[in-house]
């Protein structure tokens, strides 16, 4: 436990974490002359960065922001079976993910997961005993629609919040732990 805390503090210090300050100002936490821009571009993050407690009056990300977290991988995946509840109906249901991604504060980048289904249950969207989608064309359409919705470019009728999205998702992880079955 002590080693984990020491390593965490070392990494936080090396990234200029814990501070903030004016844009372009040099970090003063022993970061070797790192600037605030270095701090903002930090490769370090949490999975997830959200802390949910009943008494929190903010979004639950304040603790992550206070220690300089710049990346969040939400614990909820963009599952095909949730976004397109009826596989033969091309209508997508975005509400759950609009709320999830829309609540992540500006300044915390998002690495989102996209997958067919959780793997622990069979929803009929994957070839049995695999992670492969049952219909490649429909899955491809779902992936394209999901990436387009949250890319923040303002192009496309289905863009989240009309394309005004302070944290456009630029990086997607496709599934996770494929050897876990």
DSSP one-letter string for the chain: -HHHHHHHHHHHHHTTTT---STTPBP-SSSSS-BHHHHHT---EETT-----TT--S-S-HHHHHTT--EE--SS-EEHHHHSSSTTS-----HHHHHHHHTSPTT-EEEEEEES--SSS--SSB-TTSSSBS-HHHHHHHHHHHHHHTS-S--STT-GGGG--SS---EEEE-S-TT--
pTM beyond 0.75: the answer is: no
- Predicted confidence at residue 63, as pLDDT, reads 77
pLDDT at residue 32, as a whole number? 52
pLDDT of residue 120: 64
Domain ranges for the chain: 1-42, 43-174
In a structure prediction context, what are the per-residue pLDDT tens digits for the chain, which is 181 residues long? 444 333 333 344 444 444 433 333 333 334 455 555 555 567 777 776 666 666 666 667 777 777 788 888 998 899 999 999 999 998 999 999 999 999 888 888 899 999 887 766 677 788 877 778 889 999 999 999 999 999 988 887 788 887 778 789 999 999 887 666 5
């Amino acid at each position: 436990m002590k080693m984990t805390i020491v390593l965490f503090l070392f990494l936080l210090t090396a990234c200029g974490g814990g501070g903030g300050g004016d844009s372009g100002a040099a970090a003063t936490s022993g970061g070797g002359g790192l600037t605030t821009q270095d701090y903002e571009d930090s490769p370090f993050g949490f999975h997830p960065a959200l802390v949910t407690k009943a008494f929190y009056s903010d979004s639950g990300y304040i603790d992550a922001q206070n220690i300089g977290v710049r990346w969040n991988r939400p614990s909820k995946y963009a599952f095909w079976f949730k976004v397109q509840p009826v596989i033969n109906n091309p209508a997508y249901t975005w509400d759950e993910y609009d709320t999830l991604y829309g609540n992540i504060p500006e300044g915390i980048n998002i690495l989102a997961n996209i997958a067919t289904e959780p793997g622990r249950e069979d929803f009929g969207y994957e070839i049995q005993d695999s992670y492969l989608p049952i219909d490649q064309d429909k899955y491809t359409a779902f992936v394209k629609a999901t990436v387009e919705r949250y890319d923040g470019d303002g192009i496309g009728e289905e863009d989240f919040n009309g394309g005004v999205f302070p944290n456009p998702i630029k990086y997607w992880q496709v599934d996770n732990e494929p050897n876990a079955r």
